[in-house]
Structure 1
Amino acid sequence: MNRIGGDLVIETLRALGAHTVFGLPGQHALGLFDALRRSDLRVMSARVENNLAFAADGHARVTGEVTPMIVSTGPGALLTLASLHEARESSVPVLGISSQIPVAGLGGGRRGYLHELPDQQASFRDVVKSVHLVRTVSQIPGAIRDAWASASSVSCGPVWVEIPQDVLLAPASLPPVTSVPHTVRALAPLPDLIRAASDLLATAENPVILAGGGVVRAGAQKELLALAEALRAPVLSTFGGKGAFPWEHPLSGGSWLEDWHATEFLAAADVLLVLGSGLGELSSNYHRFAPRGRVIQIEADAGKLESNHAALGIHADVKLALAALSVPRREPDGRAEAAVAGLLRRVRERLAAQDLRREQQLLADLHAVVPESVPTFWDMTILGYWAWSAWPGRLHSAQGAGGLGFAFPAALGAAVHGPALAVSGDGGAMYGIAELATAVQHQLDVTWLIIDDGGYGILREYMTDTFGGTTATELARPDFAMLAQSFGVPAVTSTVDTIREDLAKALSTPGPTVVVLPVTLRMFAPTHLEH
């Protein structure tokens, strides 16, 4: 058949390098989905649009690639907002493409269309990096190209493109699009600022490095390791920066950022180098962190520079900035390694005084059976909060925006390229339970561990500690194992004594599997030590 506007969208995506599209059809978007039928792009579906957007997010996190997501107008588009909020806060390059009502209805024109909103773009402007509206077929390739470049330029993030229904269905007179040159902006540091930072680090008596998610996103692990070893500087990682630095390295102080010992360790540095972090709430021990020395902050998001602490702020891609720094190599004298060992010992002693052996053993059992090559996705659940601090190596969670329901659909998106593990509480699991059907339909190799404590466990703790009681935290829920089996998914109800064996078996079983662990876990107590 003759090509239409929808074909131009798909051709442009293909020319930009897309190989997988996450899509959920709707009336105004049918021109896009018909074009997908005629393409070689892989189409991954979902049952609910917010889960579709989480799946695109998970795919983009593990591939590092811009990931397209296609939805329909109005209710379908709006359901992606919470998920795109997470992508924005975690700098994940999701390219959202939504259909729109016909051109005649845009901007307050003809009224009464199905799914009509007075200004759909307005709902997305403060959530995504950029919004692009197409009004004619010839505008399609340029709009998709500009959105792709916006999503992939640091700091990366989600973008939004809207294309009216009649434009998607209109004949395409343009020739087939096979090449789309585009520019991804390189964010190089200013040389004068790099020289100043190099001088500060070279003369520091007690330099410390805090590695944030920007290190991982920039692929700057090698440069960070070289700098830390040259400076003999301890490295602590934010929760989003896990995997930025080798966990077992003698200079690695781990990620115990909610522990006052770690907070003080960072504050005591005479020069603290903050890489790819805005020193926000979670990275600053809920804004109790108070540095006593100089701070150097290298950050791709200009809005985060000095937003919480005065610093020598360098607006740059972390990898380019680290490559440009020049510091003399110091001879090892054991002081930094001893300081790190002392920090980790104090953390262990504090945990040991709280009788949290079950929680620590459970996390150790998980780590023992999950292969390093398997990406892990964690919901906002007590075990996930433990993982932020204690999981060795990279993990993915919804800590950017902090919404529930992230883990399972995000793991489904990652599973397009191989096995993945999702960890949810029973409350968060109910957000994505319909996606068991998606896992079966696409035969995605995802193991889903559901920690069933009968409610919103972390909120139960917060409310009990603060108010002495709870409201709306206790939940009726299904028998998750039986429910999974009704979808045709192998499932088992485990115990804390058999979880290692049960999870290992599930991970080795091809396709989707579910492991349910009925247990009530405790969060480690926060510290309130004074300076």
Structure 2
Amino acid sequence: MTRIGGDVVVETLRALGADTVFGLPGQHALGLFEALRRADDVRVVSSRVENNLAFAADGHARARLAADPDGPVPVTPMVVSTGPGALLTLASLQESRAASVPVLGISSQIPVAGLGGGRHGYLHELPDQQASFRDVVKSVHVVRAVSQIPTALREAWVSAATAPYGPVWVEIPQDVLLQPVSLPALTSVTAAPVPLEPLPELVDEAAKLLAEAKNPVILAGGGALRSGAQAELKALAEALRAPVVSTFGGKGVFPWDHELSARSWLEDWHTTEFLAAADVLLVLGSGLGELSSNYRGFAPRGRLVQVEADLGKLESNYPALGLHADVRLTVGALLEQVPIRRSDGRAEAAVQELLAKVESRLDSQPLTAERKLVDDIRAALPPGTQTFWDMTIAAYWAWSVWNPDGAPIHTAQGAGGLGYGLPGALGAAAAGIPALGVSGDGGAMYGLAELATAVQHGLDVTWLVVDDGGYGILREYLTDTFGRTTATELPRPDFVALAESFGVPARLSSLDTVGADLASALQTPGPSVVVLPAVLKMFAPTHLEQR
């Protein structure tokens, strides 16, 4: 059997550590998919639409990171065809970039002769396909000969796995993938990302500020979670007796019920004020963007120390002592210098006072159904089940209130696009991790075709569809702003009947029975759907003038 360029791609991916590839074939990618067929040690997980394929690859990487934060960085390959297929992944890759998820996108290309501009008349041709990806992914790599494949893929893999993690893009022309090759089989390609170490002088200064602080607070973001800094963060918080607030992207990096856990009510002014009152606020892996700063209402009165692997985010919103470094490495270095304080009860009392204020504020609003729903979903999950949430009102609640201990939460709030819930959960299930996807009826329509994928691959995933007859959160935004809505109300299908038409067991639930219905579905192997007709409401926002 003649080996071709596609075989070199697959051999390189396997040598680098890939055992699963998410792929959707196309005319220019035939050589690559033939090579995947020949490989008996690489699993191919397909999809129905390329954007969902990319979401599934994202979910696969996130799930493996959460399941094994001390393991190798789980760079996840995704293979698509040229032009339309490639472009459909862009919105999903934007989410991976915003959330620092290591996805390796591989696209076929028109033949080498057609690269470099001009209009040659090839099917799917773009004048410059890589230009569409250059400002979305971390790096773009273009192959023009078989001999370039191993190095290009290794460089891309290193880029994806270097803090901050993120998606990368590799393009390989059709004729290169089909070209017969005489290269020996590749088994020794390795990738070694360079650790992003903090500068010692800056660690010294940060440690000095923290040692002198009387009211230190830590804000732990997605960068802390991605770096696997759970153990180091807990040790540092306990040494400093510093309360820890988690951003929405950082949920799970600090124990939810720890006496120093101030949790993650970032859209509540009490929490915003709590952060602002710190004499030293240690920001770990967050750019203090719109959500983390409570829509720019955050105005710190003390010193900020910001540790951030993404150089573009460092001091981009607030002045700080900025350390461009991996969070885990930096927190480990700080632990060697900061003093260990005995607890005098002040930090713990401050945390309890904050959480009581948040609770009192929620109790003053008619939100019993919404709070119970999140509690019921959480209680229904078997240990180790990971959850994937679309941009729906239930997810907006989960950002703040979800207890992620033993039940990691993954959301699309990095870029805020619709359609993440089901395909993200399918990606986790492909890693052998039980998963729950949560969508609204609007977001559900983006990924509905992937029920066929769940059946085809026998993936153990449960999908909760909260059906409120429209784009619920946009309905609220428009009503609050203009007193009326436009284009938010949606005719929708019978989701139960539709799921059953795919051969997926489904049930119609209610707010009273959803916990039991989910528990039953989650304990049933294979795909299942629970449909909950319910109109949920958001908690009332708090703003600067309401402090």
Q: Distance in 1 between matches of 2:270 and 2:106?
A: 46
Among candidates 395, 409, 433, match of residue 418 of structure 1: 433
Question: For 1:239-279, what per-residue CA distance to the aligned partner results, in whole angstroms no more than 9, with x for missing partners?
Answer: 00000100001110010000000000000000000001000
Gaps (5+ residues) in structure 2? 66-73
| Counterpart contact for 2:297–2:543, Cα < 8 Å | no
Equivalent in the alignment of 1:48: 49
Q: Distance in 2 between matches of 1:112 and 1:419?
A: 46
| Counterpart contact for 1:20–1:41, Cα < 8 Å | yes
Matched, 1:332 2:346: no
SS at match of 2:262: coil
| Counterpart contact for 1:278–1:308, Cα < 8 Å | yes
Q: Distance in 2 between matches of 1:37 and 1:167?
A: 18
Equivalent in the alignment of 1:100: 109
SS at match of 1:245: coil
Among candidates 269, 272, 279, match of residue 263 of structure 1: 272
- Please provide the CA RMSD for this pair: 0.8
Q: Distance in 1 between matches of 2:106 and 2:383?
A: 34
Equivalent in the alignment of 1:521: 536
Q: Distance in 1 between matches of 2:313 and 2:398?
A: 25
Question: For 1:87-146, what per-residue CA distance to the aligned partner results, in whole angstroms no more than 9, with x for missing partners?
Answer: 000000100000000011111256100000000000000000000000011111110111
| Paired letter, 1:67 | T
How far residue 188 of structure 1 moved from its aligned partner, in angstroms, is: 0.4
Among candidates 493, 505, 510, match of residue 490 of structure 1: 505
Question: For 1:134-183, what per-residue CA distance to the aligned partner results, in whole angstroms no more than 9, with x for missing partners?
Answer: 00111111101110011001111000000000000001121111111322
Q: Distance in 1 between matches of 2:370 and 2:134?
A: 41
Matched, 1:387 2:402: no
Equivalent in the alignment of 2:155: 146
SS at match of 2:171: strand
Q: Distance in 2 between matches of 1:164 and 1:209?
A: 48
Among candidates 272, 276, 288, match of residue 285 of structure 2: 276
Equivalent in the alignment of 1:301: 310
Q: Distance in 2 between matches of 1:85 and 1:382?
A: 22
How far residue 471 of structure 1 moved from its aligned partner, in angstroms, is: 0.2
| Paired letter, 2:172 | I
Q: Distance in 1 between matches of 2:137 and 2:278?
A: 36
SS at match of 1:309: coil
Question: 5 Å matches for 1:59-138?
Answer: 59-64=60-65, 65-109=74-118, 111-138=120-147
Among candidates 328, 353, 358, match of residue 347 of structure 1: 358
Question: For 1:468-515, what per-residue CA distance to the aligned partner results, in whole angstroms no more than 9, with x for missing partners?
Answer: 000000001100011000000000000011111101000001000000
**Aligned residues: percent identity?**
73
SS at match of 2:250: coil
Equivalent in the alignment of 1:180: 189
Q: Distance in 2 between matches of 1:110 and 1:309?
A: 47
Q: Distance in 2 between matches of 1:471 and 1:110?
A: 41
Question: For 1:374-394, what per-residue CA distance to the aligned partner results, in whole angstroms no more than 9, with x for missing partners?
Answer: 010000000000000000113
Equivalent in the alignment of 2:70: none
Q: Distance in 1 between matches of 2:544 and 2:362?
A: 15
SS at match of 1:132: strand
Q: Distance in 1 between matches of 2:177 and 2:192?
A: 26
Matched, 1:5 2:5: yes
Matched, 1:508 2:509: no
Among candidates 218, 225, 238, match of residue 216 of structure 1: 225
| Counterpart contact for 1:104–1:110, Cα < 8 Å | no
Q: Distance in 1 between matches of 2:332 and 2:225?
A: 15
| Paired letter, 1:9 | V
Q: Distance in 1 between matches of 2:388 and 2:190?
A: 34
Question: 5 Å matches for 1:199-238?
Answer: 199-238=208-247
| Paired letter, 2:276 | A
Question: For 1:170-225, what per-residue CA distance to the aligned partner results, in whole angstroms no more than 9, with x for missing partners?
Answer: 01121111111322010000000000000000010100000001111111110000
| Paired letter, 1:466 | T
Gaps (5+ residues) in structure 1? none
Q: Distance in 2 between matches of 1:445 and 1:458?
A: 29
Question: For 1:340-389, what per-residue CA distance to the aligned partner results, in whole angstroms no more than 9, with x for missing partners?
Answer: 00000000011111111110011111111112400100000000000000
Q: Distance in 2 between matches of 1:232 and 1:440?
A: 50
Matched, 1:466 2:481: yes
Q: Distance in 1 between matches of 2:181 and 2:103?
A: 26
Matched, 1:191 2:200: yes
Equivalent in the alignment of 2:368: 357
Question: For 1:297-348, what per-residue CA distance to the aligned partner results, in whole angstroms no more than 9, with x for missing partners?
Answer: 0010011110000000001100100010121111111100000000000000
| Paired letter, 1:8 | V
| Counterpart contact for 1:18–1:68, Cα < 8 Å | yes
| Paired letter, 2:90 | L
Equivalent in the alignment of 1:399: 413
Q: Distance in 1 between matches of 2:191 and 2:442?
A: 43
Equivalent in the alignment of 2:387: 376
